[in-house]
Each structure stands twice: as structure tokens, then as C-alpha cells.
Amino acid sequence: MLFVVVLILMLTGAINYNLSLGHALTFLLAGLFFVSIFHTVRNLLELRIVPGNAAPVFAGETAKFPVFLENPRPNVRCALALSIAPDDESTADVAASASASVAVSCAVSRRGVFLPGRMTLSSRYPLGFFRAWAYLTPDVSCLVYPRPIRAPLPKHSETFASDQWQGGKGQDDFTGLRQRQPNESFRRVAWKAAARDAERPLLNKQFSGGGARELILDWTMTSAEPDAEARLSILTGWILESEKQHIAYGLRLPECSFPPSHGARHRDACLKALALHA
């Protein structure tokens, strides 16, 4: 309200010194002050808002809810601020008769399904004398995985050979060639051999030593921790670490279990199970 103070000072000055133009100046600014009410309101008027679900995040990270703003009016809208938490505003401009999207961020601290609750849409544009605002409670959510705790992977006590021809084979020492199976990776194909004789089926190089592992991450393996949340965090950390090391892993929780595998889909399914663990 600095502006109102300035206006009153200016009016006083204009009266005291009998400045006719001073009156005019003050009144013009007062006019701007009142007119800007409508222009601020117009900035939000008839705006259509389509909120979306946020991509899953880990606890302690920031959830970003995409919001699609559609402007059916022929005037541009500037500096629309959307926020869930009052101190974290995301701003967007929407051109005339156009649409734009903005990611509204909100820090999340607990695993589970995060419901953002009330969102605030506000604007101080054009002159900042007034703030127009609207509340909306979008029906959106964000899945929050447990906060990962970095921990060494458990000893592969439960590493087992589920597949005979793959089991026991390592990655270090070349031991020979073997016909490639259709579902095997192309990474170990002996291309030189293939180039020599186009008629023969593809051969794979065989190695021994090291050892491809499969891990079963079991709820019971974390029983040293008394806190359930910490146990979930440890499991989360293991899943991330296994993904990083390209180790196939399975998950066993009291309510469900996942057979060993890897990849983004498998990881997300496991993490979701951890997030929603009751």
C-alpha cells in the first residue's frame, strides 16, 4: 500500500502549494489505481484450468503437478501464479486465445499418495496494486515413493540358478562359443565369426567367472531396523542400486511379491508397492 501513501502525500503537496497540475497528476494516478482493479480481475477471468497428475517422486523431493491453462479470451494473460504451498509459486503467461502449461511444484515429505489439496491461482498483473486470486481443489494426486536410503546390497545369499545354461556363467573369462538363443542379448554375439560364414546361426561368446546375480529383496532381510519406514527406505535404496548395477531383483513384501526382473516398469511397480505399503 506504498502507492496509497504516495498518493496521499502527493495530494497534500498539491493542495498545499496550490498546484493545479499536481492535482491532475494525483488524480490520474488514482484513476490508474482504480482501473487496475478490473484489469487484474480480467487476468483471471474465464481462465480454464485442467490439472493433471504429477509423475511419482521420492519423499523429500518436489512433486510437479502439470496444469494446463486455456485462455478463451482475446487478451493476453501475464504472470499467472499457481501455488500449493504459499512460498513456492510457479508463473506462466498465456497468450490471447491460446493455452499454456505450467508445472506447479510442491515439496512432499511422506511416502504414499500425496493429495495437493487447495491450489491458489493469483495474479498481481498489471500494476501490482491489487492481487486477484482464486482457489481450486483439483482431483489430482502424486505417488510418493519412500525416501531411499543408500545401503550396500545384501550378500547374494539367495542368488540362485533358475536357468541352467545361464547360471554359473560369468562375465570375465572367454570360454568358447555357443549358439545364440532367440531371447538373448546381441551384446555377446561373435560378429567376426558370423561374418566369416553367413549360413551359420549366430554364435554367442561364453564367459566364466564373476557371476550374473539375481537378488530377492525380502522384507525380512531388513528386520534389523525397528522402524517400518526405515525398512521401506532401505528396500527402496536396494532397488535403485540393483537397477544401477543391472542386477535382476525380486521383491517380497508381506502383502505381495514380485519375481526377479529389471527395467523401469519393474522398478516402478516395486516402488509403488513400497509406497503404498500399509
Partner 1 sequence: MLEEFARLEKRLHVDSRDWKAALLRFLARPSSRSAGPLDDEFPWIFAVIAATAAPHVSHLPLWLSLFCGIVLAGRVLLWKIKRPVPRGLPTLFALLGTAGIALEYRSLFGRDPGVALLFLFITLKSAEMRSRRDVIFIIMLGFFLLLTHYFYSQSIFTGIWLLLSILLLTATLLRLHGEKRSLRQTFGYAGELFAHAFPLMLILFLLFPRVQGPLWGLPRDAHAGLSGLSETLSPGSLDDLIQSGDIAFRVKFDGDEIPAKSDLYWRGPVFTDYDGLTWRARPFYLRGRAETTPTVDPEQRVYRYTTTLEPHNLRWILPLDMPVSAPANSFLTSTFETIVRSRVGMRTQYRFGSVVGNTIKVEESPPMLHEALLLPGNANPRTRAFAARLKERFDSPERLSSAALVHFREEEFVYTLQPPLLPEQNSIDEFLFETRSGFCEHYASAYVFLMRAAGIPARVVAGYQGGEVNPIDGYLMVRQSDAHAWAEIWLEGKGWRRIDPTAYIAPSRIEVGIRAALPATDLLPALVRLDSDWIRNLRNRWEAANNPWNQWILGYNPELQREVLSRIGLNDPNWRSMLTSLGVLCGGVLALVAVWTFRRRQSESPEERAWRRFCDKLARRGIRRFAWEGPIAFAERAEDAQPEIGALAREAALCYARLHYGVGEPALLERLKNCSARMARHPKTVNEGFA
Stretch that binds partner 1, among 26-34, 102-110, 169-177, 189-197 (CB under 8 A): 26-34
178 interacts with partner 1 by CB under 8 A: no
Helical residues (DSSP H) of the chain, grouped into ranges: 2-16, 20-42, 191-196, 228-244, 264-275
Selected range binding partner 1 among 12-20, 174-182, 192-200, 256-264, rule: CB under 8 A: 12-20
Any residues with CB less than 8 A from the CB of 13 and at least 6 apart, and which? Answer: 19, 22
240 contacts partner 1 (rule: CB under 8 A): no
Q: By C-beta, is 56 or 126 nearer to partner 1? A: 126
> At 99, phi and psi to the nearest 5?
-135, 165
CA-CA distance, 69 to 135, in Å (whole number)? 15
Which of 121, 62, 113, 53 lies closest to 86, judged by CA? 121
- Amino acid letter for position 225: E
Contacting partner 1 (CB under 8 A), which of 26, 122, 204, 233?
26
What character string, x for contact with partner 1 (CB under 8 A) and - otherwise, covers 67-106? ---x--xx-x-xx-----------x-x---x-x-------
128 part of the interface to partner 1, by CB under 8 A: yes
| Nearer Cβ to partner 1 (20/183) | 20
Rounded to whole angstroms, how far apart are CA atoms 221 and 106? 33
The helix/strand/coil state of 272 is helix
Q: Which residues bind partner 1 (CB under 8 A)?
A: 2-3, 6, 9-10, 12-32, 34-36, 38-39, 41-42, 45, 48, 50, 70, 73-74, 76, 78-79, 91, 93, 97, 99, 124-128
